Amino acid sequence: MKNTVDIQNLNDNRNVRIDKVGVKGLKYPIIVEDRANATQHTVADLDIFVELPHHHRGTHMSRFIEVLNAYHQRNLVAEIEHFVLETKDRLDADSAFVNISFPYFIEKQAPVSGIKSLMSYDCFFLASHKDEFEMQIGVKVPITTVCPCSKEISAYGAHNQRSIVTVVVKYSGYVWLEELIDIVEAVASCEVYSLLKRADEKFVTEKGYDNPKFVEDIVRDVVVELRKDKRIIEYRVESENYESIHNHSAYASVVGKRDS
Amino acid sequence: MKNTVDIQNLNDNRNVRIDKVGVKGLKYPIIVEDRANATQHTVADLDIFVELPHHHRGTHMSRFIEVLNAYHQRNLVAEIEHFVLETKDRLDADSAFVNISFPYFIEKQAPVSGIKSLMSYDCFFLASHKDEFEMQIGVKVPITTVCPCSKEISAYGAHNQRSIVTVVVKYSGYVWLEELIDIVEAVASCEVYSLLKRADEKFVTEKGYDNPKFVEDIVRDVVVELRKDKRIIEYRVESENYESIHNHSAYASVVGKRDS
Amino acid sequence: MKNTVDIQNLNDNRNVRIDKVGVKGLKYPIIVEDRANATQHTVADLDIFVELPHHHRGTHMSRFIEVLNAYHQRNLVAEIEHFVLETKDRLDADSAFVNISFPYFIEKQAPVSGIKSLMSYDCFFLASHKDEFEMQIGVKVPITTVCPCSKEISAYGAHNQRSIVTVVVKYSGYVWLEELIDIVEAVASCEVYSLLKRADEKFVTEKGYDNPKFVEDIVRDVVVELRKDKRIIEYRVESENYESIHNHSAYASVVGKRDS
Amino acid sequence: MKNTVDIQNLNDNRNVRIDKVGVKGLKYPIIVEDRANATQHTVADLDIFVELPHHHRGTHMSRFIEVLNAYHQRNLVAEIEHFVLETKDRLDADSAFVNISFPYFIEKQAPVSGIKSLMSYDCFFLASHKDEFEMQIGVKVPITTVCPCSKEISAYGAHNQRSIVTVVVKYSGYVWLEELIDIVEAVASCEVYSLLKRADEKFVTEKGYDNPKFVEDIVRDVVVELRKDKRIIEYRVESENYESIHNHSAYASVVGKRDS
C-alpha cells in the first residue's frame, strides 16, 4: 500500500462543527431485556453518531462498527450506557448518540378465552452521552379507537379503526417498555390482540363500543397517566388513527415536561 | 474524447436472454384522462423496460429517457400505445414494457349533505408490446369493511376498518379507472370520503353496520361484477383489511379469466 | 336525525392542551410556484393541524378539509399564509400548522451535450401561524459523492454513490426551492441528471473523481453557503450517503442559526 | 353469549373460489437454520393463506394464528413443511401458502485485514402445499456494481453504486441461503461488507474498478451459475442498481427453468 494520507485526520478550516456524524440504517440482531422472560432476541435498525469538532476533517466510520461488533450476542440494551460511552471514547468525540429501533414481542392473553398469542410492538431507545448519559425510550402501540361522535349520532354501530399511539419518555430510575405499553392499552377504546376466539371478539367489540375515544382523548388520557408517574421527566405522546371512513388519518400530539 | 468502445453494442456469448431491462423508479409529471374533467395532472412512478436478445451485451439506458421526454406535457395515457411502440423501436427490441403508477383524484359528493371533496386513488397501467399491444389497468380503492361475525356475536357495535381493494384487469375496448372504482365502492360495507359532515357520518356509520362484509365477500362481490362485463378478459382482485382489532391484516385474492 | 350532542364541543377537564391535532397523510393535487415556468402541477402529502386548548374536548376534523377544498386549482403555495390563517380562524384555534411535501420537477441540461430532461426533487413547506406567520422550506437533493479516502488510498478508482442531502431553512424575504437545490448541487462531487449521453457520462465521472467529498464535507460546504446568505435565519442540513461498499449509510447533520 | 350463527360456516352461492385467504403482515420472532452456526434468531413478516372453495362463506382467521403459535421457539424453517400441512389441515383447505421474509445475518471477513463483521441480507421462503409440498427460497443481496461504460469512456474513475440482486429458486434436495448469496457476491464488481479497514477499502475499490459490470452482466452471470447447478429447477434473477449518477435505478430481470 502506497504512502497515503489519512484524510479524515486532516485539519478543517470551514469552522463548522458537525452535530451528528456516523452510520445510519444498520440492521443488527440484538438481545433486549424482557420483563416476563428476562431477555428476548430481536433485530434492530441502528443509527450511531458522534459530534465532530469544527477542526477535524472527518470521523472514522469503521470504528462505529468495531465498537458495535464487540456487543454481538450480548444484551445491548442492558449495556447501552457502556456502549454509548465506548463509542464516544473510541471516536474521541465530545458526544455520542445511539438510536435503536426494533420490534418487541409480548405474550398476551385473550380477554375471555385466555388463549395466548404474541403481539409485536415497534419500540426504540434514544441514548446519548455528552456531559452525562441520557436516555429516552419509546413505544408504538396499536390499539382500537371507536369514534364517540359516530356512536352518538348513529342509531347503531360506530366507526372504529386501528390507531398507532407513540409514547417517548425521558425518565429517572428504570421504566419498562411494558409499562408504557400498559398505559396506552389501558386508555384505548380496546386493546388489540393477535389471536381472538369468538367469545373474545364479542368482548372486544362491545368493550370498544362502550368506551369510545377521540384521537384527542387518547393522547390526553396517556398524558394524565404519565403525569402521575414521578419517574417521567419529559414525554411526547401522539396518536395516528387510520380512519375507517376516510383515506387519511386523524392525528394528535402533546409534548410536555414534569414541571410544566 | 478518446477513441472508446461502445460496450453496450458488444456481442454477448453467455446465451442468456434478458426478459426485462431498463429504468425503474423514475418520477415524472403526467397528464391522464379523466372521465369527469377530460384530463388531470398528476405525478407518476415509471418503470420502462425492453427485452434484450441473448447476443447483445447491453441496452442503452439513456434512450428510455429520451423517448419519455418527448411525451412531456402530453397526455401520456392517451398515447400509451405509441409510447410503448416508440420505446420498442428506439431500443431496437422485440418487446417493451411500461408500468405507470400514480395517485388519481376524483371529486366525490358526501352521501347526505352533498358536500364535495377530492378522494385520491392509487392507480396504475401495465402496458406492453411484443407481437401486439396489451394493456392492463389497475386501481387501489380504500373502503370501509364491517365484520359480519363481530356484528352477529356482539350485543352492539361491530369492528370495522379501512381496507384497500386492488383490481387489475385486462380488457377489450375501453374501460375507465372510474368504472373499476365504482364497482369496488358499490360492494363495500360503505365507501370512503375525504369530507363528511355530521349527517353524512351518521349515514356511513349506519350503512356500514347494515352491510357487513368479510374480506372474502369483498373480493367475491367484485368478481361477480367483473364477470358480468363482456369487456373484461382477465382479472385479479385482492383486498387487504387493516383489522381494527389486530395488528395484522386479513387478506383475500382471486385471479380469473373470462372463460374460466 | 335524533337530537344528538356535539361531543367535540363539550368541555374537557383533564387539563391537557393538545399541541397539534388535525388531519394527516392527505394526498392532494397542488399547484406550486416554479422559477422557470411560473407554476407547476404536482401532488402533495398534507398534514394540517391546530392547537387545541385544554378546555375543549375535540376539534372539528371536517373543517380542515373544507378549508383545503376552497384552494383546489389555486396556487396553494403562493397563498400559503392565507391558507394557514384561514385554518386557524375556521377552527377557532390559537395556532395552525401545515406541512406540505411534494415531488418538484426541474428541467436540467446535461453538462456536455446540453440535452434536457426533468429531475424530481422531494420538497416541503412547513408553515405555521401562532402570533405571526412562520415558514420553513426544505429540499431533498440527490447528488453523487465520491469518497476522498477511497481515492487517496487506491491505485485507481474510488467508491461513489447516490446521496440525499436535505436542507431546511427559515428565512426572511423570499427563497426559491431552486436556490437551495443549486447550493447543494454546487457542492456535490457531481450533480445528478435523468439523462446523460456518452460525453456527459464521461464528464460526470471525471468531475466526481476530481472532486471527492466526505459526507462531512457536503454538509459543511452547504452550511458555509447558507451562512453567506443574509436571508437565512435558521438551517438544518443533513446528508445520507447510500454507501456503495456497505449495506448501511454514512450520515451527517448540522443545525444552526444566523447569529450562532 | 347469545345463540349466534357461525357465519363463516355458511354456504356461499356466488360461485367464486378464493385462491388465497388468510392473514398478512404478521410480525413474528423466528428461528432459522444457519450454515455456520446451526440456527439463528431473527424476526419475520408472515403471510399465511389457504384456498377457500366456492361453497364456503368464510375462513377462520384465528386458526392461522393458533397453528403459528404452536411453532413459537421452534425452528420454523426446518419444520416448514409440517407447518404448511398443519395449516392446510387445520383450516380444512385444499391448498395452503406461507410467505416468510426476514433479515438474515452472516459473519463476513474483510478481504485484507480479515476483520469480522455481520452483514444483513433480506431473505424469504415461499412454501405451499396443494397436492404436494413446494418451496422456493429467495435472497436479496447488496453488492457494488461499477459501470463498464463509465470506466471505458473516462480518463479516470468510474461511477459505481449499491445494487440489490434478488434471486428466487425452486429446487430439489437442499439449498442453503448462503449458497445463493455466494453466487451473487462472486459475480459482483465487488461484494459489500459492514466493516472495512483502510487496506480493505483499497482492495474493494480496486477490485471493483478491475471488474466492471452492467446490470445486464450481473443477472446473466448469476443465471449462468444457476444453470450449472442440477438442484435448481426454476429461477428468477433481478438486479436493481441505485445509480450514483441518476435519481432512478437501472434494472434487469430474467426468469427461467432447468430445461428451457
What is the tens place of the pLDDT at every residue in A14-23?
999 999 999 9
| ipTM for the complex shown | 0.94
Give the separation between CA C99 and CA A237, rounded to whole angstroms.
Answer: 19
Interface test with C, best of B5, B118, B119, B140 (most C CBs within 10 A): B118
Interchain proximity C250–A22, CB inside 8 Å: yes
CB B31 within 8 A of CB B73: yes
Please state the three-class secondary structure of A93-149 as a single string: CCCEEEEEEEEEEEEEECCCCCCEEEEEEEEEEEEEECCCEEEEEEEEEEEEEECHH
Distances (CA, A) of A258 to A128, A131, A132, A169, A230: 20, 22, 20, 11, 8
Residue at B124: amino acid letter? F
Check whether C215 has a pLDDT greater than 60. yes
Q: Do D253 and B21 touch (CB under 8 A)?
A: yes
Set of cell numbers at residue C132 = 405571526
- Tell me which DSSP letter residue C9 carries: G
Closest to B61 (Cα-Cα) out of D148, C168, C23: D148
Q: Is A150 an 8 Å CB contact of chain B?
A: yes
Q: φ and ψ at C81, to 5 degrees?
A: -65, -45
Average pLDDT, integer, range A238-253: 97
Task: List pLDDT tens digits, range A36-72.
Answer: 998 999 999 999 999 999 999 999 999 999 999 999 8
Strand partners, B123: B102, B139
Contact between C221 and A253 using a beta-carbon 8 Å cutoff: no
* Domain D110-260, second-level architecture: Roll (3.10)
Q: Assign 3-state DSSP to chain D and report helix, strand, coil percentages, each to 5.
A: 25, 40, 30
- Least reliable range by pLDDT among A32-41, B134-143, D184-193, D207-216: A32-41
Task: List, in order, residues 6 or more apart from B248 with CB less than 8 Å away.
Answer: A194, D23, D24, D25, D26, D27
Contact criterion met (CB below 8 Å) for A163 and A144: yes
Per-domain residue ranges of chain A: 15-100, 110-260
Is B103–C27 a contact, with Cβ atoms under 8 angstroms apart? yes
Nearest CA among B32, B17, B22, B135 for reference residue B87: B22
User: Given CB atoms, is D17 within the 8 Å cutoff of chain B?
Assistant: yes
pLDDT at D96 over 90: yes
Nearest Cα to Cα of residue D162 among D192, D118, D140, D130: D192
Nearest CB to D1; choose among A103, A194, A202: A202
Question: Once rounded to an integer, what is the mean pLDDT over residues C136-151?
Answer: 97
Cβ contacts of D214 within 8 Å, gap of 6 or more: B7, B8, B57, B58, D145, D147, D148, D149, D250
Mean pLDDT of chain A: 95
Residues of chain B contacting D216 with CB distance shorter than 8 Å: 18, 21, 52, 57-59
Least CA distance to B209: which residue of chain A? A157
- For B11, which DSSP code? B
How distant, in Å, are the alpha carbons of B103, B184, B253 from that of D17?
Answer: 31, 18, 10
Strand runs labelled E in chain B: 18-34, 38-52, 96-109, 116-129, 133-146, 160-171, 190-191, 232-241, 249-257
Q: How far is D27 from chain B (nearest CA, A)?
A: 8
The total of other beta-carbon atoms located within 10 Å of residue B11's CB is 8
| Residues in chain D within 8 Å Cβ distance of B251 | 20-24, 47, 49
- Grid cell in block for residue A92: 474521541
Q: What percent of chain C has pLDDT over 90?
A: 89
Mean local confidence (pLDDT), D223-233:
97
The H-assigned helical ranges of A126-247 are 148-153, 177-187, 198-210, 215-228
Between chain A and chain B, how many beta carbons pairs sit less than 8 Å apart?
A: 131
Residues of chain B with pLDDT under 70: 1-2, 260
Give C 74-113 residues with CB within 8 A of chain A: none
CB atoms within 10 A of CB D158: 26
Q: How far is A231 from chain D (nearest CA, A)?
A: 31
Residue C133 to residue C84: CA distance in whole angstroms: 8
Return the ∠ at Cα D96 (arms to D91 and D100), rounded to 5°. 115
Contact by Cβ (8 Å): A242, A249:
yes
Q: How confident is the model at residue C63 (pLDDT cuts 50, 70, 90)?
A: very high
Cα–Cα distance, B244 to A92 (Å, whole number): 49
The reported pLDDT for the residue numbered C168 is 98
Whole-angstrom Cα distance, residue B34 to residue C29? 14
C-alpha to C-alpha distance for A35 and A39, rounded to whole angstroms: 8
Q: Which pLDDT tens digit goes with each residue over D157-182? A: 999 999 999 999 999 999 999 999 99
What is the percentage of chain A residues whose pLDDT exceeds 90? Answer: 89
Find all residues with CB under 8 Å of B234, minimum gap 6, and list them: B136, B169, B170, B255, B256, B257, B258
pLDDT reading at A162 higher than 70 = yes
User: Quick one: pLDDT at residue D2?
Assistant: 57
Q: Pick from B40, B61, B24, B174: which is nearest to B103 by CA?
A: B40
Q: For B64, name the nearest residue in chain D, comparing CA atoms only.
A: D250
Distant-in-sequence, close-in-space partners of D203: CB < 8 Å, separation ≥ 6? D111, D112
Q: Which residue has the higher pLDDT, C198 or C259?
A: C198
Chain B residues near residue A209 by CB distance under 8 angstroms: 154, 156-157
C1, pLDDT greater than 70: no
Say how many CB pairs under 8 Å bridge B and D.
144
A156 touches A184 (CB < 8 A) = no
Over residues A144-153, the mean pLDDT reads 97
Calculate ∠ Cα C100-C103-C104, nearest 5°.
Answer: 105
What is the pLDDT at residue C77?
Answer: 86
Task: Considering only the beta carbons, identify the residue of D19, D153, D250 that sits closest to B61.
Answer: D250
Q: Name the DSSP letter for residue B110.
A: -
In this structure, is the dihedral angle defined by the CA atoms of residues D171, D174, D176 and D182, taken in order, positive or negative? negative
Q: Which residues, listed in sequence order, are joined to residue D97 by a DSSP beta bridge?
A: D49, D128
Q: How many Å apart are CA A12 and CA A81, to the nearest integer?
A: 31
Residues 6 or more apart from C248 whose CB is under 8 A from it?
Answer: A23, A24, A25, A26, A27, D194
Strands A38-52 and D18-34: unpaired
Nearest-by-Cβ selection for A142 from B120, B149, B247? B247
**Mean pLDDT calculated for residue range D133-137:** 96
Alpha carbon of A170: minimum distance to chain B alpha carbons (Å): 27
Q: Which of residues 184-223 of C touch D (CB under 8 A)?
A: 190, 192-194, 196, 198, 201-202, 204-206, 208-209
| D205/chain C closest Cα distance in angstroms | 6
**Radius of gyration over every alpha carbon of chain D, rounded to an integer in angstroms:** 22
Spell out where chain D has E strands. Answer: 18-34, 38-52, 96-109, 116-129, 133-146, 160-171, 190-191, 232-241, 249-257
